[in-house]
Amino acid sequence: MEFLLAHRAELWLRLLEHVWLTAGSVAVGVAAGVPLGILAKRKPKLEGLVLGAAGILQTVPSLAMLALLMVLIAALPALPYFGRVRSIGAPPALVALTLYALLPIIRNTVAGLGGVPQAALEAADGLGMTQRQRLRLVELPMALPVILAGIRTATVIGVGVTTLAAFIGAGGLGEFINRGLYLSQERLILLGAIPAAWLALVFDQALRWAQAALERGPMAREAGKSARRGFALVSAPALAAAAALALLPAAGARAALTSVHERAAFTGEFIERPDGLPGLERAYGLRFSEVRDMAEPLMYGALERGAVDVISAYSTDGRLRAYHVRLLEDDRHFFPPYEAAPVVRTAVLKRVPGLASALELLAGRIDEKTMRRLNYEVDEDKRAPRQVARQFLLRQGLLGSRLPRSGPAVVIASKAFTESVILGELMAQLVETRLGVRVQRRFNLGGTMIVHNALKDGDIDVYAEYTGTALTAILGLQGGVDAAAAYEIVSREYPLRFNCRWLKPFGFNNTYALGVREADALAHGWRTISDLTRR
């Protein structure tokens, strides 16, 4: 119950966004699909072309469609009176959802018009109707139940596809699902999946009721009763759940938060983690006017184009300079230290002699400036992490000369961001060339809890973790300690709880931070996070 109350306000917001995206795209799909269906029926030579094109669009994977539209919209020039169309968020999502809605609407329009009885058409001609009058007064009314069935199909498809729009910052219930998958939290997945499934049922049954109301014939009355019962069956529990959630009292008194006008884009992990947005709001007493769940690579582009004003960043990110991002000082010392270090299963250390010594060759050799440069080479120079890691090891004189031999592999994993992949590659190449042990790479595995659970369960053997993340997000402890204390705590707790061991840190502290545009920081005098509340 506490979990629901904590997410209640956001649940209403995401539900409304989901309804708006679905309804808006279906409305545009009807406006475009019905005329295209009429055109295809009137001109048989075009029917195959129109239906074929709509069918091809339907086969494009949803994420690929969203990514393609982001690129195409970003390439558009500024439009008169409207300016540049945002390539992140609702615009590409609405276009994609509309394209997916076209096929069932066009196909059912063609089928509905083709099913109009010939006698009705001859009667209309006998009355002297023009072609337009015949379409408006005879063909469309008689075809409407079939057309509505296509709209019903498009709507249900739209509810499902809209969950993927969260990947590009368009909002909707998919934001909960994405966060839940990234953090391996079933409650978050269900918080998005159950309302989305119920929304699809409500839309489906509502349109079924409307479809039944248009039916004529001996079975129409019974069909109408069945449709009404179906709508009541799915809508009553949904309304009861919504009312119960709305009427539940708040969990307890909360400190008043100062609203700031800036729009924020954060990763799903930052939004949910205790050392992320929830704790930050309490520590600084602020609340952003808008918070978007956005994938890390998209945040920087959104900040640069002015779609958002604040992002969650980290201090060793190589894109800070490229996108002119200013990190605000954590003047209330909310964020804990985040020293990166290898975390290894104890069983693997026993099985592979010299593994700890090989990995600890990296101890103290990577400072913040070096890690930022390595990240920049991958993110901005578009070099492969394997190449960047190899070059670093060669410069440091750490790369060995041995070749991996056959035998059991050491499984080295990474989280789904650039720095973690680079660190994973550095460790993998050391193990291969110094010990001659075969390495299985499982990079971009997911968020913190996914990778941690894989380590705990023995599915992977090694990955790079951060002391602050382990302290707060994994161990559930308070973060108000210095770097030495944080490392001492995680080094003590991991063998006891997870049968894993922390090795010596790489040498850099990659702390969470809030990033803003350099120009905004200069214009408003922003230097610290507290300055955001003084505008």
Residue 116 sits at the vertex; the CA angle it makes with 115 and 120, to the nearest 5 degrees, is: 155
pLDDT score for 256: 62
List Cβ neighbours of 427 (8 Å cut-off, separation of 6 or more).
342, 359, 362, 412, 462, 464
- Exposure on the CB side of residue 34, measured as CA atoms within 13 A: 18
Q: Residue 461 CB: number of other CB atoms within 10 A?
A: 27
How far is Cα 64 from Cα 72, in angstroms, rounded to an integer? 12
Task: Note the maximum CA span of the chain.
Answer: 95
pLDDT at 255 over 60: no
First to last CA, the chain: 36
pLDDT at 96 over 70: yes
pLDDT at 203 over 60: yes
Reported residue count of the chain is 535
CB 58 within 8 A of CB 31: no
Per-residue pLDDT reduced to its tens digit, 34-57? 999 999 998 888 888 999 999 999
Residue 196 sits at the vertex; the CA angle it makes with 190 and 199, to the nearest 5 degrees, is: 135
The confidence band for 337, taking pLDDT boundaries of 50, 70 and 90, is very high
Per-residue pLDDT reduced to its tens digit, 212-234? 887 776 777 777 788 888 888 88
How far is Cα 393 from Cα 376, in angstroms, rounded to an integer? 17
pLDDT score for 535: 62
What six digits make up the tokens of 175?
A: 């934001």
Do β-strands 405-413 and 437-442 pair in parallel, antiparallel, or remain unpaired? parallel
pLDDT score for 67: 85
Per-residue pLDDT reduced to its tens digit, 207-216? 988 888 877 7
How far is Cα 395 from Cα 95, in angstroms, rounded to an integer? 49
pLDDT score for 252: 54
CB 424 within 8 A of CB 441: yes
How far is Cα 367 from Cα 339, in angstroms, rounded to an integer? 10
Most confident of 291-300, 338-347, 446-455, 469-478: 338-347
pLDDT at 65 over 70: yes
According to DSSP H, which parts of 397-466 are helical? 418-430, 448-456
Contacts by 448-451, CB closer than 8 A, 24 or more apart: 448/183, 448/269, 448/273, 448/415, 448/473, 448/474, 449/183, 449/184, 449/185, 449/473, 449/474, 450/182, 450/183, 450/184, 451/413, 451/414, 451/415
Per-residue pLDDT reduced to its tens digit, 498-528? 999 999 999 999 999 999 999 999 999 999 9
List Cβ neighbours of 20 (8 Å cut-off, separation of 6 or more).
none
pLDDT score for 74: 80
Annotate 79-139 with DSSP letters as a single string. Answer: BTTTBSPPSSSHHHHHHHHHHHHHHHHHHHHHHHHHTS-HHHHHHHHHTT--HHHHIIIII
pLDDT score for 231: 85
Identity of residue 309 = D
Which candidate, 162, 167, 189, 193, places its Cα nearest to that of 267?
A: 167
The confidence band for 250, taking pLDDT boundaries of 50, 70 and 90, is low
CB 272 within 8 A of CB 288: no
pLDDT at 59 over 80: yes
Identity of residue 240 = A
pLDDT score for 171: 87
Mean pLDDT, the chain, integer: 90
pLDDT score for 180: 87
How far is Cα 462 from Cα 424, in angstroms, rounded to an integer? 8
How far is Cα 257 from Cα 285, in angstroms, rounded to an integer? 5
Kind and range of the H or E run holding 468 = helix 467-469
Q: Of the given ranges (169-178, 347-356, 377-386, 456-465), which has the lowest mean pLDDT?
A: 169-178
What six digits make up the tokens of 476?
A: 């559930």
Which candidate, 432, 455, 348, places its Cα nearest to that of 386?
A: 432
Calculate the CA dihedral of residues 392, 398, 401, 405 and round it to 10 degrees. -90
How far is Cα 182 from Cα 267, in angstroms, rounded to an integer? 10
pLDDT score for 306: 87
pLDDT at 4 over 70: yes
